[in-house]
A and B are shown apart, each in its own frame.
Chain A
């Protein structure tokens, strides 16, 4: 009987202690999963004559990884969701480049930070590439002229 009471006591104690131990772990994991900033990059792809270039494959790439590729639409517009490496410096994660492919042929590769910002909504801080590539936000760049 004494053993049974002891086991019951231990169980009740763990039921109280359990959530106290587990809750911070859960909160930490939720916060950690939400901490990767995202940059929504939009713009337009045009030829040297200023005509829209649809069907080009665009992607942002760095040594950290590659964003999901997307096609430029009928008016040449595109939108890319770029997951940024959480909390790391640009040096550690490498320079992010915007790449544009004509089918499988690479036509354009320039650092994202070299693109001209048309409008931007940073998550916080100033509207410059250093901040946008660190904290994320929305940014529209000026039309990119492809080829010569």
Chain B
């Protein structure tokens, strides 16, 4: 028995999973060749062939392990390509406001009790959040993605500080201005 096999932490290696098993099988293949070489005379053809088969199976397993590992890593990388933007609008009537994410593929979101959350691609460096509701001047806030933390961002509108803000009244709907359409139009992403 080789010294290398005596102090081998087999359980520790097996804990690595299939990669560990592959390593052990490779070591066993080496051990078999070593044993066969240690014999007197020529190596036996049958045993050598059996070792080859053993090594081939081991190689196939190693390739499978490598491919699965590579695919899994790629999928993890893909999964982490988005950054969540969480925020809260501190406003008494926050539910009436929408937020539009400028700089991303057009998204608008109505806030659920003042809270909003949107995933943003990592390759976007900065974007502008625009808060608004009908009849009021919208307000913009620039956001730098590398400065974001896990905590939700708190937004306060400037007009909240001004007491005499007049909201423009909603005009009466003129149904003639809403053209009927037979086409299937995608809905506005206000959720």
Tell me the A residues contacting B by CB distance below 8 Å. 47-48, 51-57, 59, 61-63, 65-71, 73-74, 94-95, 97, 99, 101-111, 146-148
Contacts and interface: CB of A to CB of B under 8 A. Distances in A.
A57 B168 contact: no
Interface string B180-191: 010111101110
A62 B186 CA distance: 8
Contacts of B189: 66, 69
A71 B138 contact: yes
Contacts of B177: 107-110, 146-147
B108 interface: yes
A67 B105 CA distance: 8
12 contacts: A48-B171, A55-B138, A57-B132, A65-B186, A66-B106, A71-B130, A101-B188, A104-B188, A110-B179, A147-B171, A148-B173, A148-B174
Interface string B72-116: 000000000000000000000000101010100111101000000
A65 to B, nearest CB: 6
Given A68-B106, A71-B130, A111 B138 contact: no
Given A51-B168, A54-B137, A68-B105, A63 B185 contact: yes
B2 interface: no
A59 B183 contact: no
Contacts of B190: 57, 101, 104
Given A109-B177, A109-B178, A47 B137 contact: no
Given A109-B177, A110-B177, A146 B171 contact: yes
Given A57-B190, A147-B171, A97 B181 contact: yes
Contacts, number: 117
**Chain B interface: which size bin?**
35 or more
B136 interface: yes
B184 A63 contact: yes
Given A55-B133, A55-B134, A99 B181 contact: no
A56 B134 contact: yes
B36 to A, nearest CB: 29
Given A68-B100, A110-B179, A147-B172, 5 more contacts: A57-B188, A68-B106, A73-B138, A97-B181, A147-B171
Contacts of A99: 188
Given A57-B188, A74-B137, A109-B177, A148 B172 contact: yes
**A71, A101, A109 — most chain B CB neighbours (10 Å):** A71
A61 B186 contact: yes
Contact of B185 (A62, A68, A71, A73): A62
A111 B179 contact: yes
Interface string B122-159: 00000000101111111000000000000000000000
A95 B183 contact: yes
Contacts of A48: 171
A67 B106 contact: yes
A95 B181 contact: yes
